[in-house]
């Protein structure tokens, strides 16, 4: 769990296959004399606890993250989520609804599919038994291709990819990224879909200051933006030419959105 600063708590949740360091550039753009930045790493990624592949379920990740947040003695947070950080982060807050005061959404999705959903090519490969293990459990191949999801591939050079790859590689357990890819629901009968439906229903009822910052060159989730804006029609939207890991490309735009949401909350400092 990375933390920095004091003041209004801002909970920044990464997704697969990164870790809390994904927000390091956003951190540098925010006033840590007025904000307490909380950047947890999901179980199975980074230097976090590694678990058997079968334990990687949305229910478990929501439960684990909710427990982590409750240990921090928070009285309200601004939530920022990307990739699996959407369903996991909002799911965790759904279990402690008194915590959520505002949010910034970044290239994520927590809408349960109502019919069979066409996966991106990498996720389709991951979902294929045996083939997924052979092709994607090679940690080098997984992390060395992160730059291909970016608007500017140079935004994830080898040394940045290593920030995410090294902890997973050194742990000797590289099943987390593959298991998280297989958690993506392919239709209403997928094991992830029931809880995803609960998270979606919770999100649709929210009435907190919200902004959306989106990477329009994301080959995985750029297409989700219309559904997100339909869910939050009052939320200002910042469209960028970033890709999937937009924290690496447009940290200033993300930080600006966070500051606007904090201002809209009308808060001073929280513990």
Please state the domain count of the chain. 1
Q: Do 58 and 195 form a contact (C-beta atoms < 8 A)? A: yes
CA-CA distance, 249 to 120, in Å (whole number)? 22
Range of the domain at 136: 2-265
The answer to whether residue 106 is domain-embedded is: yes
Q: Residue 190 domain-assigned?
A: yes
Tell me if residue 6 falls in helix, strand or coil.
Answer: coil
Q: Which two tokens stand for residue 4?
A: 């920095």
Is residue 6 situated within a structural domain? Answer: yes
Interval 211-246: pLDDT, tens: 999 999 999 999 999 999 999 999 999 999 999 999
Is 179 among the domain residues? yes
β-pair partners for 105:
81, 212
Q: Residue 24 CB: number of other CB atoms within 10 A?
A: 16
Q: Identify whether 32 is part of a domain.
A: yes
**Per-residue pLDDT, 249:** 99
Q: What is the pLDDT of residue 176?
A: 80
* CATH number of the domain within which 223 lies: 3.40.50.1820
Query: 76 in a domain, yes or no?
Result: yes
**Where does residue 245 rank: exposed (0-12), middle (13-18), buried (19+ CB within 10 A)?**
buried
Q: Burial letters for 249-262: b for 16+ Cβ neighbours within 10 Å, e otherwise?
A: bbbebbbbbbbbbb
Whole-number average pLDDT of the chain: 90
DSSP code, position 105: E
Instruction: Tell me the mean pLDDT in the region 27-53.
Output: 94
pLDDT in tens, 54-110: 899 999 999 999 999 999 989 899 999 999 999 999 999 999 999 999 999 999 999
SS3 59: helix
pLDDT tens-digit map of 135-181: 655 544 678 889 999 999 999 999 999 999 888 888 766 778 878 88
**pLDDT at residue 229, rounded to an integer:** 98
271 lies in some domain: no
DSSP string, 224-239: GHHHHHHHSTTS-EEE
**Are 112 and 185 spatial neighbours (Cβ–Cβ below 8 Å)?**
yes
Residue 210 lies in a domain: yes
Question: Where do we find the tokens 């970016």?
Answer: 150
Q: Is the pLDDT of residue 126 over 80?
A: no
């Amino acid at each position: 769990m990375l933390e920095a600063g004091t003041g209004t708590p801002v909970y920044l949740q990464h997704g697969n296959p990164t870790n809390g360091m994904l927000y390091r550039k956003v951190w540098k753009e925010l006033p840590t004399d007025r904000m307490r930045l909380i950047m947890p790493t999901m179980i199975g990624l980074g230097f976090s606890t590694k678990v058997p592949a079968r334990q990687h379920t949305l229910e478990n990740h929501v439960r684990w993250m909710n427990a982590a947040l409750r240990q921090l003695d928070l009285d309200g947070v601004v939530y920022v989520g990307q990739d699996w950080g959407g369903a996991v982060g909002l799911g965790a807050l759904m279990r402690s609804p008194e915590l959520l005061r505002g949010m910034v959404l970044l290239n994520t999705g927590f809408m349960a599919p109502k019919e069979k959903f066409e996966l991106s090519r990498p996720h389709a490969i991951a979902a294929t038994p045996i083939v997924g293990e052979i092709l994607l459990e090679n940690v080098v191949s997984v992390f060395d291709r992160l730059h291909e999801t970016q608007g500017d591939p140079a935004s994830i050079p080898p040394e940045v990819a290593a920030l995410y790859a090294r902890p997973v590689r050194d742990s000797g357990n590289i099943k987390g990224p593959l298991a998280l890819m297989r958690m993506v629901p392919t239709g209403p009968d997928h094991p992830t879909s029931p809880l995803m439906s609960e998270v979606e229903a919770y999100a649709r009822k929210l009435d907190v200051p919200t902004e959306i910052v989106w990477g329009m060159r994301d080959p995985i989730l750029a297409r989700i933006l219309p559904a997100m804006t339909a869910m939050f029609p009052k939320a200002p939207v910042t469209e960028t030419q970033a890709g999937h890991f937009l924290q690496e490309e447009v940290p200033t735009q993300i930080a600006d959105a966070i500051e606007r949401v904090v201002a809209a909350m009308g808060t001073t400092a929280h513990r």
